Amino acid sequence: MPLLQPVADFSKQLELLYQQHSRQVLATLIRLLGDFDRAEDALQEAFSVALAQWPQSGTPESPVAWLISTGRFKAIDKMRRQRRFVADGDAMLAQFVDEQAEGFEMQQDSQLWSDDYLRLVFTCCHPALSIEAQLALTLREVCGLTTEQIARAFLQSTSTIAQRIVRAKQKIKAATIPYQVPASDQLAPRLQAVHKVIYLLFNEGYSADLIQPSADEALPKIDLAQQAIDMAKQLLALQFDTESCGLLALLLLQHARQAARFTTAGQLILLPEQDRSRWDQALIAEGVSKVETALSSGRIGPYSLQAAIAAIHNESPDSASTDWPQIHALYQLLYRVEPTPVVALNQLVAMSMCEGPAAALLQLPPLLQDATLAQYHLLYAVAADFHRQLGHHDEAIDFYRQALKLATSSADQQFLQQRLCALSEVKNAEHNAL
Amino acid sequence: MKYLCLVYSNEQLLHDSPQSPEDAECHAYAEQVAQSGRMLAAEALQGVATATTVRLRAGQVLISDGPFAETKEQLAGFYLIEARDLNEALQLAAGIPAARVGCVEVRPVRQLAV
């Protein structure tokens, strides 16, 4: 191995190594040491030993194996020093040292390592943890963000996030949530929980853009959307699953529109009005190929169907020439696998594009009665839009006002306000013409 | 007759008030009842922060963080089980027939520090 010099380059190289492999090292150390905190300390120790030793000794042949082995050794060393102060210190230590006596040697074992990564993912996304705890823990342990970065991404205080993570780890330990890839008969629902976390992270990144397009210039932006995409890719690479593939496709296809979603002033631009030349064609191609794989590979679920819908949008040159009948059909399929009022609302919008707003309006009343949608601003925005298209100005204004009351992001509020102003002008003009 | 004695308390009060029982005292009383031949089973539980609630609806197992807290429903029974880990405990809990209409709170047992 070549000696690593100069030092400046070396620390850059180590930083890269940290970015690429620290999660893997952590995932394996948690299994070996049986504890999140102990493994995190060991990870930090292993990297500081590397920083001190590698410039002289050269980079080891398998840096990951070296880091795992060094971290484990450091942790055992620490436990040995502390055993007098811990209640069951001796028993705990014996458990790890025995293994060592049996000639424990860290081999490069890629299968075992990828299982460790999945163990980490499934543990952080365990449904016995609250969804907020799952999100924070996943960003901390699986994505390797700092507590400060997570706090910034969620617009929360650092202490709130820190406490959330500490409590989650306490529950993992106290309730014995196992560090395991679920057995095959449990895998489907647990994988759904992981998908949900990834999708929420992505959406969190999406709405964070709405709230803080350039909130604080001094701090680098935490790109949760990209974190979610990276995690979806990693998950799919380790274990093929139709919905994991569909989810990745959906994220890529939505992310492809990122540059066209805002005006330079940070205002939201809806899909029909977006400048499609600004969509990222490389991401679209990648997303479309993932949709094709998902749709041809087995039981199709909600993410694959949503990705298929997104793909039709992304491949259409404009709103008018979009294949709305196919989108409508896909929403009907989606409603069959996921019969929620939100899907029903989307299906209605697709229907209005095929059969006109009058036909869609006839089917709106049951949704307006649905208690679960009562606080959903988009329901009223959709109702307003149907009425607007039909020239029912008063009804449209009423519904836009209701939507405005419920909208939480400033971009949504601005958009609704614009619609309201435009309608008032039209109404005044008509009034003056009479 | 068999009777189930359920211990309720504000968690803070249970451990931090001057009246709070020590583990040794709890253990001694349980021993006393056992020696009188009337003990079937007794355990202390870990705090509510360790609780997980399981429901079965339309054939789907629904798992959520936290204790069961619905004053309109009443305690209907209990299982004291031995499970390898929380996953196995949740699986067994989801199989309890009453989980279809009610819910089952799963809480780890705490070893008394004696």
Asked if B70 contacts B5 with a C-beta cutoff of 8 angstroms, the reply is no
Whether A34 is in a domain gets the answer: yes
pLDDT value of residue A16? 86
Determine, yes or no, domain membership for B70: yes
Find the range with the poorest average confidence among A38-47, A275-284, B60-69. B60-69
Would you call A177 and B64 a contact, using CB atoms and an 8 Å cutoff? no
Q: What is the mean pLDDT of residues A220-229?
A: 86
User: B50 and B74: one domain?
Assistant: yes
Choose one of A46, A76, A108: the last residue of a domain: A108
Provide mean pLDDT across the span A284-294.
97
Cβ-based burial of A39 (10 A; exposed 0-12, middle 13-18, buried ≥19): buried
Q: What is the pLDDT of residues A180-210, one digit of tens each?
A: 999 988 899 999 999 999 999 998 887 665 5
> Are B54 and B103 in a shared domain?
yes
One-character DSSP codes across chain B: ----------HHHHHHSTTPPPHHHHHHHHHHHHHTT--S---EE--GGG-EEEEEETTEEEEEES----TTS----------SSHHHHHHHHHHSGGGGTS-EEE--EE----
Specify if A77 maps to a domain: yes
Asked if the C-beta of B85 comes within 8 angstroms of chain A's C-beta atoms, the answer is yes
- Report CB contact under 8 Å: B65, A186: no
Nearest CB to B46; choose among A174, A178, A180? A174
Answer whether A178 sits within 8 Å of B108, measured CB to CB: no
If you average pLDDT over residues B32-52, what whole number do you get? Answer: 91
Which has the minimum average pLDDT: A9-13, A41-45, A335-339? A9-13
Of the candidates A86, A108, A130, which is a domain's last residue? A108
The domain boundary residue, chosen from A108, A140, A162: A108
pLDDT at position B14 is 79
Residue A59 domain flag: yes
- The answer to whether A230 touches A20, Cβ cutoff 8 Å, is no
How far is the C-alpha of A183 from the C-alpha of A336, rounded, in Å? 28
Virtual torsion, Cα A277, A278, A283, A289, nearest 10 deg: -20
Lookup result for tokens 């009337």 = B38
* B60 shares a domain with B78: yes
Residue B86 lies in a domain: yes
Q: Is B92 within the bounds of a domain?
A: yes
Structure tokens at A144: 């390797």
Determine which of A126, A185, A190 to mutate to test the interface with B (most B C-beta atoms within 10 Å). A126
Residue in B102, A58, B27 with CA at minimum distance from that of residue A66: A58
Distance CA A32, CA A248 (A): 31
| B21 located within any domain | yes
- Residue A252 CB neighbour total at 10 angstroms: 27
Give B107's contacts in chain A (Cβ within 8 Å): 175
Answer yes or no: is B67 within a domain: yes
Q: What is the pLDDT confidence band of residue A350, given thresholds at 50, 70 and 90?
A: very high
pLDDT over 90 percentage in chain B: 50
Same domain, B63 and B35: no
Q: DSSP label at A269? A: -
Cα separation, A222 vs A149, in Å, equals: 7
Give the pTM. 0.86
Name every chain B residue with its beta carbon within 8 A of the beta carbon of A129: 65
Measured between alpha carbons, how far apart are the two ends of chain A, in Å?
Answer: 88
pLDDT at A21: 87
Q: Is the peptide bond before A6 cis (omega within 30 degrees of 0)?
A: yes
> Closest Cα of chain B to A215: distance in Å?
33
Contacts A–B by Cβ distance under 8 A = 50
Q: Is B46 within 8 Å of A175 when comparing Cβ atoms?
A: yes
CB contact under 8 A, B84 and A167: no
Alpha carbon distance A322, A3 (integer Å)? 59
Query: Taking CB atoms and an 8 Å cutoff, what residues of chain B touch A177?
Result: 85-87
Q: Is A410 exposed, middle or buried (0-12, 13-18, 19+ CB in 10 A)?
A: middle
Q: What is the domain range of residue A430?
A: 375-434
Residue with tokens 């996943």: A138
- Nearest chain A CA: its distance from B101 CA (Å): 20
- 3-state class (DSSP) for residue A116: helix
Residue A125, Cβ neighbours under 10 Å: how many? 23
Residue B1 in any domain: the answer is: no
What is the C-alpha separation between A224 and A201, in angstroms, rounded? Answer: 6
CB contact under 8 A, B87 and A177: yes
**Domain residue limits at B15:** 7-42
Judgement on whether residues B96 and B55 belong to the same structural domain of the protein: yes
Dihedral angle over CA of A345, A347, A348, A350, nearest 10 = 130
| More reliable by pLDDT, B114 or A322 | A322
Rounded to a whole number of angstroms, the distance from the CA of A277 to the nearest CA of chain B is 44
Query: What pLDDT does B8 receive?
Result: 83
A371 is written with which tokens? 């208690």
User: Which two tokens mark A245?
Assistant: 């593939």
Minimum mean pLDDT range among A229-243, A281-295, B8-22: B8-22
To which residue do tokens 């895998």 refer? A187
Domain-embedded: residue A145:
no
Please, which pLDDT band fits residue B2 given cuts at 50, 70 and 90?
Answer: confident
Residues of chain B in contact with residue A192, where contact means CB-CB under 8 angstroms, are none
Q: Looking at the structure, do residues B77 and B58 belong to the same domain, yes or no?
A: yes
Give how far A175 is from chain B: nearest CA, Å.
6
Range in A111-115, A377-381, B60-64 the model is least confident about:
A111-115
* Pair B54, B86 in one domain: yes
Tens-digit pLDDT profile for residues A118-176: 999 999 999 999 999 999 999 999 999 999 999 988 888 999 999 999 999 999 999 99
Find the helix or strand (DSSP H, E) in which A304 lies. Answer: helix A302-314
Please check whether residue A337 touches B, CB under 8 A: no
By C-alpha distance, the chain B residue nearest A193 is B63
pLDDT band with cut points at 50, 70 and 90 for residue A92: low
Number of domains in chain A: 2
What is the average pLDDT across B46-62?
Answer: 92
Is A173 an interface residue toward B (CB < 8 Å)?
A: no
**First and final C-alpha spacing in chain B:** 31
pLDDT of residue A95: 65
Determine, for residues B85 and A176 on separate chains, whether the beta-carbon distance falls below 8 Å.
Answer: yes
Q: Is A229 helix (H, G, I), strand (E, B) or coil?
A: helix
* Contact state of B87 with A171 under an 8 Å Cβ cutoff: no
A330 near A308, Cβ under 8 Å? yes
pLDDT at residue A213 greater than cutoff 50: no
Together in a domain, B104 and B51: yes
Please give the pLDDT value at position A2: 47
Q: What is the structure's pLDDT at A193?
A: 95
Q: Which of residues 44-83 of B touch A (CB under 8 A)?
A: 46-47, 49-52, 60-61, 63-66
Q: Report the pLDDT averaged over residues A66-70.
A: 94
Q: Is A167 on the interface with B (CB under 8 A)?
A: yes
Judge whether A227 lies within some domain.
no
Q: Phi/psi zone of residue A157: left (φ > 0), alpha (ψ -120 to 50 degrees), beta?
A: beta
Evaluate whether residue A26 is within a structural domain.
yes
CB atoms within 10 A of CB A189: 14
In a domain, A260, yes or no: no
Q: What pLDDT shows up at residue A309?
A: 97
User: What whole-number distance in Å separates Cα of residue B108 and Cα of residue A178?
Assistant: 14
Interface of A with B in 108-127 (CB under 8 A): 127
Cα separation, B47 vs A26, in Å, equals 29
The beta-carbon neighbor of A176 closest among B64, B91, B108 is B108
Chain B, 14 to 43: residues with Cβ < 8 Å from chain A are none
Q: Average of pLDDT values for B52-69?
A: 91
Could you tell me if B81 and B105 lie in one domain? yes
User: Over 60: is that where the pLDDT of A98 sits?
Assistant: no
Chain B partners within 8 Å of A127 (Cβ): 63-65
Report the mean per-residue pLDDT for chain B: 89
Which residue of chain B comes nearest to A130, CA vs CA? Answer: B65
Distance from CA of B2 to the nearest CA of A (A): 29
The stretch A50-63 carries a mean pLDDT of 88
Identify whether residues B88 and B34 lie together within a single domain: no
pLDDT at A174: 94
Count the domains in chain B. Answer: 2
Q: Is pLDDT at B104 greater than 90 in this prediction?
A: yes
**B77 and B26 within one domain:** no
Contact between A2 and A58 (Cβ < 8 Å): yes
A128/B63 CB distance under 8 A: yes
Residues B37 and B80 in one domain: no
Q: Which of A81-90, A304-313, A345-354 has the lowest mean pLDDT?
A: A81-90
Q: Is B112 on the interface with A (CB under 8 A)?
A: no
Give the type of residue at A352. S
Q: Per the domain annotation, does B50 fall within a domain? A: yes
ipTM rounded to 2 decimals:
0.86
pLDDT of residue B102: 87
- Residues of chain B in contact with residue A173, where contact means CB-CB under 8 angstroms, are none
Question: Is residue B108 scored above 90 in pLDDT?
Answer: yes
Chain B residues with beta carbon closer than 8 angstroms to that of A180: 85, 87
Query: What pLDDT, on a 0 to 100 scale, did the predictor assign at position A276?
Result: 95
Nearest residue of chain B to residue A183 (CA atoms): B87
What does the pLDDT read at residue A100? 52
For the record, the structure tokens of A373 come out as 């949608």
Residue B2 in domain: no
